[in-house]
Chains A and B, each alone.
Chain A
Amino acid sequence: MKAWEDLVGTALLGTRRRTLDPSAQPPAVQSLIADRGDPAEQLLSAAAVLSTYRRAGRQPLHDVRPLPVAAEDERPFVPPLARERLGRLLAASHPDLLLEWLGIVAGTHYRVPPETLPLLAEAARTKAALRSPLAAVAGPAGAWLGQRNPDWAFLSAPAEEQADVWQYGSLAQRRRWLTAKLAEDPDAAREALTGSWKSEPADVRADFLGVLSGHVRPEDEAFLEAALTDRAAAVREQAADLLGRLPGTRYGRGMAERLEPLVHRRNRVLTVALPQGERGDGTVRLRTLVAAVPLSFWIEFGPPAEVVRMTVEGCPAAVLRDSWATAALRQRDETWAKALIGADPGGRTTPPLLGVLSPAGQAATVGHLIGRLPVESFARLVHELPRPWTKELGTALLDWIARQDDHRLVSHAAVVIARAVPAQCLRHPLATTRLTMDAGPWRRALTETLNFRREMYEELA
């Protein structure tokens, strides 16, 4: 619009330096400003008319291209109370409770109201664990949104991985591929792994052995044995760890043969000599040896509960005990785990060893520990208990904390217990009994969290 540009140009320079040309203005404007004497007033009057004209006569955009339409989502919204709770979860930023909530919803036929998706997606952007349940809950609307906003791309199902991702993908892509392949086609996965093994850098080799650790099987023995002589120490350690999980390996038998001459029992004294070597620390070699030997080796010296309590000579007792614990963890040996916990309940290997026990065994053992350990030690142990907790374990811990008095460590343990007990424990009397007004803040918070979680499940049942 020439007339308007003329006005803007004159206003920039000033009417004292550039005179406004009225003839460039539309006739209607010309007659309106004719009676103004001052050129500045003429300009302002003309601009007032033209700017109003431009605003009032604004034309819409044309030929805007529509966005694609998301697939229909027939699922109903979560019920009103659950919607309100989602608002509270988002406002209070409790990522672990939000994770649990999304997990529950993902198991139902509900979806979340779409207007909550931007906040949920932002939460999942910073906390990756939320992504997979959120993608399920958000459904087609979420996937559609993920295609619009690159920050939320995780809401869209990832594009079909290329067939050559194993050859050319990034480390993360290759890890993902290997994990998936190990589950769906174990033979093909191993073929791919052994095929490229020699050309992988050392850290990648160690990394892939870590991926394999969840899927290791007896047929892997030869491959792992070869990896024992790897140039990289990290790979050798990983291979030894994985071999230790397999029963009846040649490696295990070999290690047992080497250990045999070093161990002697006389009455209640167990003598374990340190293995000799060209260099390095004898205790390190002993650790490797004991951790790799099948625990059945020790049967000739007595039952596990007896062996772990013997007086140890020839080597530090702690080293031997730690190595037994490593072996028990690798071989998932419940009897040994129980024996080791019983011999040293406050030891640092107790929490991982509890993970080896069956649910009932776990709850019973924790019950014993409650009686044997000072409150402070047990409260510290609660933080390290392997998860997820079973119903039995959860109930045992709730029973324990219900009896405790105010104590800093107890209040810290209460936070863990409130979040970690499984859903079946949420009707525990601790949650359903009304609190007295003088109850300590930690007890109040515990009850609140348990109730919050119980309501979460009920609202979505």
Chain B
Amino acid sequence: MGGQVVTAVPWTAERVAGLAPDPASEKAGRALATPAKWSGAGASEDAVWGFCQGSGKKPYQTCVELAEPAFRCSCPSRKFPCKHALGLLMLWAAGRVDTGPAPDWVHAWLAERADRARRAEKRAEAAGPKDEEAAARRASERAARVEGGVAELKVWLTDRIGAGFAGFERSGGEELRTVAARMVDAQASGLAGGLRRAAAIVGRRDWPEALLAELSQLYLLADAATRLETLPPALAAIVRTRLGFSVETARVLEEGERVADEWLITGAADEENDRLLTRRTWLRGLRTGRDALVLSFAPPGRPLDASLPPGHLLTAELAFHPGAAPLRALVAERGIPLPAPTAEGGSISEALSTYARAMAADPWLERWPVLLSHVTPAEHAGGWCLSEKDGTALPLVPYAFPWSLLALSAGRPLTVAAEWSPAGLRPLTCWHENRAVRL
């Protein structure tokens, strides 16, 4: 696909909707996606702009820079992007904004942004070496705190197993959350997250079994943390990540393994934890067969990264985080995403054996991307599953909403991208009659 692609590929309505910080904004945006609401609307390769009549006398001035994308609107909304920016983009995606030269106010804003970006870059360069010492001091302070947290958790775990889980269904959740809070203080967010998951298990059906599994995994992690130096570097990297140490973006870009490929964006799943939105976007390299996970974070009310629309193909170079069987990656160099009308996946047994290999490298793996071809939704034991022709099947997670998938299938096989975890499959995207559908 070499060469520079200059004409912007029009966005799909779905991609625009993906920018909305919450469902209410999406709804409000849709209501504004009608030409009657806008005057002076126009679009260029870089930006879309227009005036939107609000409740006030003066219309709002709205502009979107498409590359990032970045938004600007004169309305007082604290949502980001606001409904005006969303409505304008929806109108544009529907092909109802004419192309034309940008007016001066749009030019001015774009120039201002470019200028700011240049200044920030300069500042970052200037700040570099001076902070190194302080950073090293902070890092060692944190390492010491995490070490303390790990030791405390090990003591708590062995003490708890010594006393037994009996009676835990009453007070266990609270006890686990208290320990989780102490791990947050110790800056070991990975351990805290595991304890919170354990807290959610207590009281469920078959909870002692699930709780033991969760706590033993935490013990394994804490135990590994006490002997990081003796572990192989790749495994040590995994342990550090699971403990909650992050690897700086710059380091990943500089030192991480680079894989150039044509990547199929198989799906995206959003989750809210601790007042932080997380978007997991899964990619599958068409030539290399590599799976990759790109994470993006945002506080509630802010948009998550929408540059990787599911069901699209992206020619890109990814930089992988360090670790054995690395999965998490950053997009280092990218082209423009193009719709992928079809996708080729594998069988259930292939997916399970890839998962087993990944588990061997990283036993703390919470979920794994699968791309299954020729699977049909079916019923099993009062729940739903995805079944191959011979009746081999994987269950869906109990909380999955199966009806869109069922409607698309109507009894016929589909290609489905999903996250696999011990709880079951969580379907994310499926391919149906030459198009990708987000579920």
**Chain A residues within 8 Å of B, Cβ to Cβ:** 4, 7-8, 11-17, 38-41, 43-48, 51-52, 54-70, 81, 84, 87-88, 91-92, 113-115, 117-118, 140-142, 144-145, 148-149, 435, 437, 444, 447-448, 451-452
Least distance between B179 CB and chain A CB atoms (Å):
15
Is A67 within 8 A of B352, CB to CB? Answer: no
For B349, the chain A residues whose CB sits under 8 A away are 60
Which A residue's beta carbon lies closest to that of B220? Answer: A48
**A55: B residues at CB distance < 8 A:** 213, 359, 422
Please name the residue on chain A nearest to B411 by beta carbon: A69
Which residues of chain A are within 8 angstroms of B359 by Cβ–Cβ distance?
Answer: 52, 55-56
Contact assessment for B404 and A118 in the assembled complex, using a CB-CB cutoff below 8 Å:
yes
Residue in A closest to B17 when the chains form the complex, CB atoms: A87
Residue B311 interfacial (CB < 8 Å): no
Look across to chain B and name the residue whose beta carbon is closest to the beta carbon of A142: B407
Which A residues are CB-close (under 8 A) to B33?
Answer: 88
B352 and A60: CB pair below 8 A? Answer: yes
- Is B331 in the interface zone, CB < 8 Å from A? no
Q: How far is the CA of A118 from the CA of B159 in the complex (A)?
A: 50
Question: From residue A74, how far is it (CB to closest CB) to chain B in Å?
Answer: 12
B376-393 Cβ-contact flags toward A at 8 Å (1 or 0): 111110000101010111
Say yes or no: B219 contacts A65, CB within 8 Å.
no
Q: A56-B355, A118-B407 in contact; A51/B392 too (CB < 8 A)?
A: no
Ordered by A's residue number, 23 sampled pairs between the chains whose C-beta atoms are within 8 Å are A8-B208, A8-B209, A8-B212, A14-B162, A17-B164, A44-B157, A45-B219, A45-B223, A51-B213, A56-B359, A57-B356, A60-B348, A61-B387, A66-B389, A69-B412, A84-B13, A88-B30, A91-B26, A91-B30, A92-B27, A113-B437, A145-B407, A448-B34
Contacting residues, chain B, for A447 (C-beta < 8 A): 36
7 closest Cβ contacts across the A-B interface? A14-B164, A47-B216, A69-B411, A70-B410, A56-B359, A51-B213, A40-B161
Residues of A within 8 A of B27 (CB): 91-92
Apart from the given pairs A43-B161, A48-B220, A118-B404, 20 other A-B contacts in the complex at a CB distance below 8 Å:
A11-B208, A13-B164, A40-B160, A44-B158, A48-B217, A48-B363, A60-B352, A61-B387, A61-B395, A62-B391, A66-B376, A66-B387, A66-B411, A87-B30, A115-B407, A115-B432, A118-B403, A437-B39, A451-B34, A451-B35
Q: Does B166 lie within 8 Å of A14, measured CB to CB?
A: yes
Residue of A at shortest CB range from B219? A44
Residues of A within 8 A of B36 (CB): 435, 444, 447-448, 451
Would you call B394 an interface residue if the criterion is a C-beta within 8 Å of the partner chain's C-beta atoms? yes
| Chain A residues closer than 8 Å to B286, beta-carbon distance | none
Q: Is the CB of A144 within 8 A of B30?
A: no
Closest to B432 in A: A114
Binary flags per residue of B157-183, CB closer than 8 Å to A gives 1, else 0: 111111111100000000000000000
**B349 to A, closest residue via Cβ:** A60
Given the known A-B contacts A12-B208, A67-B376, are A61 and B410 also in contact in the complex, defined by CB atoms under 8 Å?
A: no
Total A-B pairs in contact (CB under 8 Å)?
195
Instruction: Check: B111 CB closer than 8 A to any chain A CB.
Output: no
- Verify A145–B403 contact, CB threshold 8 A: yes
Q: Which of A47, A56, A64, A452 contacts B360 (CB 8 A)?
A: A56
Report the minimum CB–CB distance from A451 to chain B (whole Å): 6
**Given A43-B161, A141-B407, A145-B410, do A64 and B422 touch, yes or no (CB 8 Å)?**
no
Chain B nearest Cβ from A64, distance in angstroms:
4
- Whole-angstrom CA separation of A17 from B13 in the bound complex: 62
Q: Which of B165, B377, B401, B403 has a CB less than 8 Å from the CB of A12?
A: B165
Q: Distance in Å from the Cβ of A118 to the closest Cβ of chain B? A: 4
User: Which residues on the A side are within 8 Å of B209 (C-beta)?
Assistant: 4, 8
Q: Chain A residues near B407: list those with CB within 8 A.
A: 114-115, 117-118, 141-142, 145
| B residues less than 8 Å from A13 (CB atoms) | 164, 166
User: In the complex, which residue of chain A has the Cβ closest to the Cβ of B224?
Assistant: A48
* Size class of the contact patch on chain B: 35 or more
The interface residues of chain A, by DSSP majority, are classed as helix
A55 to B223, CA, bound (A): 20
Q: Shortest CB–CB separation between residue A348 and chain B, in angstroms?
A: 37
Q: How many angstroms between the C-alpha atoms of A396 and B356 in the bound complex?
A: 73
Contact with A along B193-228 (1 / 0, CB 8 A): 000000000000000110011011101100100000
A141 to chain B, nearest CB (A): 4
* B270–chain A nearest beta-carbon distance, Å: 18
In the complex the two chains form, is A87's CB within 8 Å of B380's CB? no
Interface assignment of B336: CB less than 8 Å from any CB of chain A: no
Residues of A within 8 A of B37 (CB): 448
* Nearest opposing residue in chain A for B90, CB measure: A84
State in angstroms the CA–CA spacing of A118 and B65 once bound together: 35
Q: Whole-angstrom distance between the alpha carbons of A446 and B17 in the complex?
A: 26
B241 interface hit (Cβ, 8 Å) = no
Residue contact B161 to A67, C-beta cutoff 8 Å? no
User: A58 touches which one: B31, B39, B401, B422 (CB < 8 A)?
Assistant: B422
Residue among A46, A55, A69, A435 with the highest chain B CB neighbour number at 10 A: A55
CA distance A57 to B160 in the complex (A): 28
Q: Does B53 contact A (CB under 8 A)?
A: yes
The answer on a CB contact under 8 Å between B53 and A437 is: yes
Q: How far is the CA of A24 from the CA of B395 in the complex (A)?
A: 31
**B408 at the binding interface (Cβ < 8 Å):** yes
| Distance in Å: Cβ of A440 to nearest Cβ of chain B | 12
CB-defined interface of B331-351 with A at 8 Å, one 1/0 digit per residue?
Answer: 000000000000000001100
Kindly provide the distance from the CB of A261 to the nearest chain B CB, expressed in whole angstroms. 65
Q: Verify if B94 is at the interface (C-beta below 8 Å from A).
A: yes
Instruction: Please tell me if B256 contacts chain A, counting CB pairs below 8 Å.
Output: no
Tell me the smallest distance from the CB of B200 to a CB of chain A, in Å: 17
Known: A8-B209, A12-B164, A145-B403. A48 touches B216 (CB 8 A): yes
B190 to chain A, nearest CB (A): 15
Q: Is the CB of B208 within 8 A of A65?
A: no
- Are A115 and B162 in contact (CB-based, < 8 A)? no
Least distance between A138 CB and chain B CB atoms (Å): 9
Across the interface, do A84 and B220 meet the contact criterion of CB distance under 8 Å? Answer: no
B59 at the A interface (CB under 8 A): yes
Complex contacts, B348 vs chain A, CB 8 Å: 60
Q: How far is the CB of B66 from chain A (nearest CB, A)?
A: 19
Find the A residue at minimum CB distance from B356. Answer: A56
Contact for A437 among B59, B94, B401, CB less than 8 A: B59
- Using CB atoms, name the residue of chain B closest to A83: B13
